[in-house]
Structures are given as C-alpha cells and as structure tokens.
Amino acid sequence: MTERLLWRAFDALAVSELYALLRLRADVFVVEQNCVFGDIDGKDPDARHLLAFAGETLGGYLRVFPPAGLEAAAKIGRVVVAPACRSTGLGRRLMAAALDEIAARWGAVPVELAAQAHLERFYASFGFVRCSADYLEDDILHCDMRRGA
C-alpha cells in the first residue's frame, strides 16, 4: 500500500482531510486512551498539519507550530498513529518529516513537545531531552521535551 505524507495549512485542508484528522485524534486520544478532553483547542488554525495516508485511510498525523518570538522554539503536537499502522515505522517517518519541515521553514531553531511519558525513549531517539518532571495531563503521565537548535 502506498503511503503519502501531505503537509497542509489549516485553510488548505479539504473537508475530508479535516474530518479524517479529527476522527483519528478522537479515536486514539479520546476513545482508545479513555481520555475526555477538548481536542478542538482553537490552535489548529495556527498550525501546519502533516497527514500520513496509507491508501485512502489516514494512518498518522501531527501538527507543527512556528517559533513565536526571537528565541522561541517550534512546537510539535498531537502526534498520533492509528492502531493498524503502529509498528510500521510510520511514527518515525512522521517525526522525521516534522523536523525536516521545521528546519526548512524556520532554520535551526529549538523544538519542543509534550510527550506521553512512556514515549520518552522514542522522542529521545530524535535528540529530544526531558526538561520537566512528570505531570498529569488529561489523566495521562506526560513530560516536556526539548531538542536544541
């Protein structure tokens, strides 16, 4: 099955793409992880969206925010891979594409993310370093991580 990685600004998302990404986020973050939270947080219009299609099905997604200010970091969030696409390397391809996009758009800037604590080693493999203690977010253990410029 052919995999397609597509970058979209919010205003360029097709209705079907927006529906697919909101459904994937809800299926994983709300239903699978049993976490009731406001996923539609008002930040999507400011983000660039990376959609990973396996055939016609959205298999993975993340969003990226530009650095805000002179010494600010770019941010990666809402990293999600559909259950059927896990253990295929899709998560690694999404993260690599996000870091490439950040470097191409904004140069050598730091990058931050809030990681589910059990995924710390995954993000560390991309050069991210923990920069906070564990904390609960939506009843899931998280930690903040940062990758230098």
Domains, the chain, with CATH or none: 3-147 (3.40.630.30)
**Section 121-127 average pLDDT:** 97
CB within 8 Å of 132: residues ≥ 6 apart: 143, 144
| pLDDT for 121 | 97
Q: Is the pTM of this model over 0.85?
A: yes
| pLDDT for 1 | 55
Q: What's the pLDDT band for 37 if we cut at 50, 70, 90?
A: confident
The CA distance from 44 to 63, in Å, is: 8
What confidence tens digit (pLDDT) does each residue in 43-60 have?
A: 999 999 999 998 889 999
